[in-house]
Structure 1
Amino acid sequence: MRAATTTRRGGIAALGASVALLLGACAGGLDPAASGIGGADVDPPAATVAPAPDVPGESAPGESAPAASGTALAALSGLPVKGRAPQTGYSRDQFGPAWADIDHNGCDTRNDVLARDLTRTVTDPGTHDCIVLSGVLADPYTGTRIDFLRGQATSTAVQIDHVVALSDAWQKGAQQLDGVARRQLANDPLNLLAVDGPTNSGKGDGDAATWLPPSKAFRCQYVARQVAVKQAYALWVTQAEHDAIAGILARCPDEPLPAGGPAPDVAPVDDQGDDPADDDAGAEPQEPFANCDAARAAGAAPVHRGDPGYSSRLDGDNDGTACE
């Protein structure tokens, strides 16, 4: 109470002095501005800073310096802010076959990401070391270790997450992309992470305004990757999403914008999303192989989802690779 009383007395005294000065200036015919009263040299009232929007699991940030070039925060400022478009017309098929081998390295995208993100991997030599049989994941979403073992009952422990969910992308610009760009978005390593399966299932198609990784230590990297994907594919953000991302990046303003690798070698597709190269004479048969013996006899095994001759009937564990 003593400090508060002193402050109030000081303020009252200062106010009295200001009034006296103003009265004296007016009585003497002086310009109040020339005496420093009411002129440009008087400090304006302090601006009121609006509280930052709520971000799941985060507290409101303080003011920050302008974003530096090359940071996710700078890139965020360049993303269009619009409302969410209707989900009408969305289906997973709009983004091409799941885990297609769009880089033509002989391995489907799921196994490419597993090989990239897991350590101590063991691969199946019979698949040209494409199929990851086991490995260890340092899960970025939960900060835990997961021992991955391939199998019908165990593979789902590790899932490949689309950092920008395809449904979310569809509602924020992807429906305006052509089939080639959408297929690339669905298989772009920039937009893919191997993560804890149950946590990924809980995310659904949420954006940063509705879902963030439980591990706070990874949130800066997570939203930075979302910004990079949306920038690369000319997608937009909603106002709530923009504010949520900005709230996270305010705590790590120097978080770099992740760089994608070289653009995958994607062949043009027709209006139906089929690869026209499949129509070439002398190519592998267009109808699904009758069985895996036929696929092996044609030298096509393993057959990846999206490749000529693939059929889910031949893919017993539904991992995108048949006749392994």
Structure 2
Amino acid sequence: MFTPTHLLAQAEMRTPGTRSREALPKVFFAIVMTVCAVVLGACGEPRTVVVTNTETVTSTEQVTTTVEVTAGSLGEPVAGESESEEVSGTVTAPVPLPEGSSARELLNTLEIKGRAPKTGYERAKFGQRWSDDVEVEFGHNGCDTRNDILNRDLKNVTYKPRTRDCVVLTGTLEDPYSGEIIEFERGSESAKVQIDHVVPLADAWVKGAQQLSEQARRNFANDPRNLLAVDGRLNQQKGAGDAATWLPPAKGFRCEYVSRQVEVKAAYRLWVTQAEYEAIDRVLSGCGQSVS
């Protein structure tokens, strides 16, 4: 009789002192039927077939054939295993870019494909906000990234005392997105000037950043190439938009803006959508030779 895990077939000899001529066909028939059942999926756990004691015996003996089915031998995955395991979170970045490459040359190296699912995205995936524990410019200098960018992009900067010229108190921003002058003062109106991720974190997540290691994502979120001090209102307006959905109102800055996006995406092995590629290509077509 065939069960989910083993088969027991018994045949008795009918003539004392002689070998049974009936038991052997029964034994092999049982084995053949068992193998067929396993191959066709009749057994709930088809794996390894073990056959024991298939000889014929005398009338005082019995023939016992056991077919045991265990996990793993017929090419099917064992419970708890997967046929393929997706590798994620291991890609290191940024990578060095070819020296002297133009934005258009780098654009043509980017893969073009659709967005990945946004599943699992949260700001914490890119590490602590404005972490100094990064392997990019300004990393491990004792100041947080936000103050590093304010110090770089503002003019007439003043600092909080006893912070080693790290914490920016005031300064003047020539906003690249609007072309307007904005006075920055730390305190209740600090949000007038915000630090924008040129390639937004959420956009990066659905275009390759899921495959980056934790350190690489932290580098990405704090890489000065991907950060600009800008008008807070326009930063909020942009949200997670890419070049196909948002460009700075100041048209004179668009060439530098999309060039930065291309450089960052190339350095962090991110891709672009078809619409995004076409939008960047249109902007670069109107830029000078040094950019395009």
Scaled by the length of structure 1, the TM-score of the pair is: 0.57
Map residues 208-247 of structure 1 onto 2, 5 A cutoff: 208-247=243-282
Which of 150, 156, 160 is 2:191 aligned to? Answer: 156
Which of 81, 92, 111 is 1:80 aligned to? Answer: 111
**Would you say the 8 A contact 1:135–1:149 is kept in 2?**
yes
> What whole-Å deviation, never above 9, does each CA across 1:193-229 have from its counterpart, x for those lacking one?
0000000000000000000000000000000000000
Which of 223, 227, 243 is 1:188 aligned to? Answer: 223
> What whole-Å deviation, never above 9, does each CA across 1:162-195 have from its counterpart, x for those lacking one?
0000000000000000100000000000000000
> What whole-Å deviation, never above 9, does each CA across 1:236-268 have from its counterpart, x for those lacking one?
0000000000000000152438xxxxxxxxxxx
Map residues 106-185 of structure 1 onto 2, 5 A cutoff: 106-151=142-187, 153-185=188-220
**Would you say the 8 A contact 1:123–1:133 is kept in 2?**
yes
**Would you say the 8 A contact 1:73–1:255 is kept in 2?**
no
How much has 1:124 moved relative to structure 2? 1.2
Which residue number in structure 2 is paired with residue 95 of structure 1?
126
Secondary structure of the structure 2 residue equivalent to 1:127? coil
> What whole-Å deviation, never above 9, does each CA across 1:252-305 have from its counterpart, x for those lacking one?
152438xxxxxxxxxxxxxxxxxxxxxxxxxxxxxxxxxxxxxxxxxxxxxxxx
Separation in 2, partners of 1:224, 1:143: 18
Separation in 1, partners of 2:254, 2:205: 23
Separation in 2, partners of 1:197, 1:165: 15
Separation in 2, partners of 1:194, 1:131: 15
> What whole-Å deviation, never above 9, does each CA across 1:70-100 have from its counterpart, x for those lacking one?
2101111110001011100000000000001
Instruction: Note the residue ranges of structure 1 that are not aligned, 5 or more in a row.
Output: 1-68, 258-324
Q: Give the number of aligned pairs.
A: 188
Secondary structure of the structure 1 residue equivalent to 2:184? strand
**Would you say the 8 A contact 1:124–1:131 is kept in 2?**
yes
1:201 aligns with 2:232: no
**Would you say the 8 A contact 1:249–1:255 is kept in 2?**
no
Percent identical residues: 60
Instruction: Note the residue ranges of structure 2 that are not aligned, 5 or more in a row.
Output: 1-99, 134-138
Secondary structure of the structure 2 residue equivalent to 1:244? helix
**Would you say the 8 A contact 1:118–1:137 is kept in 2?**
yes
Scaled by the length of structure 2, the TM-score of the pair is: 0.63
**What's the RMSD between the two structures over aligned residues?**
1.1
> What amino acid is the match of 1:130?
C
Which residue number in structure 2 is paired with residue 31 of structure 1?
none
Secondary structure of the structure 2 residue equivalent to 1:101? coil
Map residues 43-54 of structure 1 onto 2, 5 A cutoff: none
> What whole-Å deviation, never above 9, does each CA across 1:92-139 have from its counterpart, x for those lacking one?
000000001131111000000000000000011221111000000000
Task: Give 1 or 2 for the bigger CA radius of gyration.
Answer: 2
